[in-house]
Amino acid sequence: MVVDDSAVVRGLVSRWLAEAPDIEVVSLQRNGRAAVEAIDETNPDIVILDIEMPEMDGMTALPLILRKKPGIPVVVASTLTRRNAEISLKALSLGARDYLPKPEGQHGLVSADDFRQQLLAKIRALGMPRPGLARKTQAAQVSVPTPVRPDVAITLRPASSVRPRVLVIGSSTGGPPALTRLMEELGGKLGGIPVLITQHMPPTFTGILAEHIAKASGRPAAEGRDGEPIVAGRIYVAPGGHHMLVQGGAEPRIRLDDGPPVNFCRPAVDPLFSSAAAVYGPATLALVLTGMGQDGANGARSIATAGGTVLAQDEATSVVWGMPGATARAGVCSAVLPLDQIAGRVSQLLMGLRT
């Protein structure tokens, strides 16, 4: 189901989805009220929900949709204003699975193409299978075949014998609520180590995420600035549009890089992890949380090779087990844990307890 008050957006999105052989649109609605009323009849697998709409906006419709169809993935779409970024993060805390920045203004075809690619990727990652779907019979629903993934035994490796001096975290889809919860649990247990976070997010969103993490953890948190010293006790969030790396020297510093995307992402997790491994070596502790794709797996290998410790979120508690799954299957993790057990394990490692 696609919900947007703009007929142009509804038409464009439905045309894009119609071109995808594995996706079907079952409903196009112009406001939240119409979407809520159509949920039972159309029974969508996933909802793309605009935030700003007349009659009933996305934030009002979200809990009503989730009440009518508990567990349905909802992706909120908004333009990149501070107000909409705040609303989008609020929507994630209320049960939306992901967010989608909308193209606007004079950005033209490049932004529209990026929006299209992200839209298709998020639908495929979050959409549930619809048994018996043989072909498209009408315009409008999103149906995605279940990916076939053979069972792969996960090989764990021992945690580092060196007490961590830095905590690096990577996340994507489902990451903001997971990060907020984790930082709330870890805030008083972090001791004197710095925390560096890369969450796949556009500009504006990352600054607000840092504010939310500061409130949750009770620790100073902000977007990393190029050349800024990495100080114990502080939390640094990679700013949207820039890779955040650790630069070595007598005093480790933040280095921002606006080079090409890595794993189709900027910021990406791999550059953060690999650079942290190069600087902190076996004293690096990394967490790979929920997210689609494989970003972070190569960087986690670098950390393991350097003798550091890698933990991954388990499949059951991940919104999408892409990034943590790829890392776990790479055989570089010391543990694969439910989200509510990660803070406790991190606390043990920070105290020098390996088991």
Residues marked as catalytic: 172, 200, 295
Phi, psi of 328 (to 5 degrees): -65, -45
Rounded Cα–Cα distance for residues 330 and 185 (Å)? 28
198 token code pair: 């890369």
Count CA within 13 A, CB hemisphere, residue 44. 34
Rounded Cα–Cα distance for residues 265 and 317 (Å)? 23
Helix residue spans in the chain (DSSP H): 7-18, 32-42, 58-68, 82-93, 108-126, 175-186, 205-217, 269-280, 297-305, 323-329, 339-350
Residue type, 265: C
Eight-class DSSP state of 262: B
Establish whether the linkage from the previous residue to 147 is cis, with ω within 30° of 0. Answer: no
CA 43 vs CA 5, 46, 70, 142: distances in Å: 20, 9, 12, 10
The closest of 32, 25, 46, 23 to 3, measured between CA atoms, is 32
The closest of 318, 95, 62, 85 to 212, measured between CA atoms, is 85
